[in-house]
Structure 1
Amino acid sequence: MRYLLTLHMKPALWATLTDDQKNAVFEGHGEFIELVTETGEMVETKALAEPAATRTVRVQDGVTHVRDGAFVEADAFLCGYYVVDVESEERAVELAAKIPDAQYTAVEVRQVVHEA
């Protein structure tokens, strides 16, 4: 079963972390990627730009409207994800707990129900 593990960042929280804490997060991602690659559970991962670099597109009555910024104004934003292929939801949760961001914010675990 494939699961999407989404990472959310709170810029205000991130700004309070020391350089050592930030470096530990970055190094932790390297260790996590190594783990799920070695176990064969890694499908893919991506890091995403901040909301300031986002464009939101809507089509209403056949007219395309584009605005700068994310769809939802919030104190946290989707900053990246992992897709893992695991035997169970329990394993997906176990892996989510190993992502270093989980010590500062939530990591959402959601089963992939369709792929093209």
Structure 2
Amino acid sequence: MQFLCLIYGTEGKDPQPGTEAFGAYIQEYEAFTAMCVENGVFKGGEALQPVATASTVTTENGKVEIMDGPFAETKEQLGGYYLLDCKDLDEALSYAAKIPTAKYGRVEVRPIMTFE
């Protein structure tokens, strides 16, 4: 079963580029990704550009509206994701807890809906 792990954090709260802590942080991500690949659960994942680069699109009554920024204005922003293929929710949650940003923000785990 596939699960999407959505990684949320407050920009600037986690280790920042150019700091000593950032190198260790990136190594944690590399190790986590390698573990997922080695265990056969990794299906994809990427970091996202900063929230300032986001756009939100909506269509109402045939009219397209484009707004700068994310849809939700919250302290924590979506910063990346992992798509994992796990045997069940418990396994997906155990992987999500190991995502480095879980120490600084939150990781939302959602099962992928399968249409047959």
RMSD across aligned C-alpha pairs, in angstroms?
A: 2.1
Q: Distance in 2 between matches of 1:21 and 1:115?
A: 43
Equivalent residue, structure 1, for 2:24: 24
Task: Tell me which amino acid in the other structure corresponds to 1:46.
Answer: E
Cα distance, 1:72 vs structure 2: 1.0
Q: Distance in 2 between matches of 1:14 and 1:69?
A: 21
Cα distance, 1:23 vs structure 2: 2.4
Higher mean C-alpha displacement, 1-10 vs 22-31: 22-31
* Alignment of 1:79 onto 2:79: yes
Equivalent residue, structure 2, for 1:100: 100
Equivalent residue, structure 2, for 1:36: 36
Cα distance, 1:113 vs structure 2: 1.5
1:59-106: CA deviation from partner (whole Å, max 9, x where unpaired)? 122111111111111111111000110112111111111111111111
Equivalent residue, structure 2, for 1:90: 90
Identity over aligned residues, as a percent? 29
Cα distance, 1:12 vs structure 2: 4.3
Q: Distance in 1 between matches of 2:35 and 2:61?
A: 48
The runs of 4+ residues in structure 1 deviating greater than 3 Å are: none
* Alignment of 1:4 onto 2:4: yes
> Structure 2-normalised TM-score?
0.88
Q: Distance in 2 between matches of 1:45 and 1:15?
A: 20
Q: Distance in 1 between matches of 2:71 and 2:11?
A: 17
Larger helix fraction of residues: 1
List runs of 5+ in structure 1 lacking aligned partners.
none
Q: Distance in 2 between matches of 1:22 and 1:8?
A: 17
Task: Tell me which amino acid in the other structure corresponds to 2:58.
Answer: R
Count of matched residue pairs = 116
Q: Is the alpha carbon distance of 1:10 and 1:65 closer, same or farther for their aligned partners in structure 2, counting shifts above 3 Å?
A: same
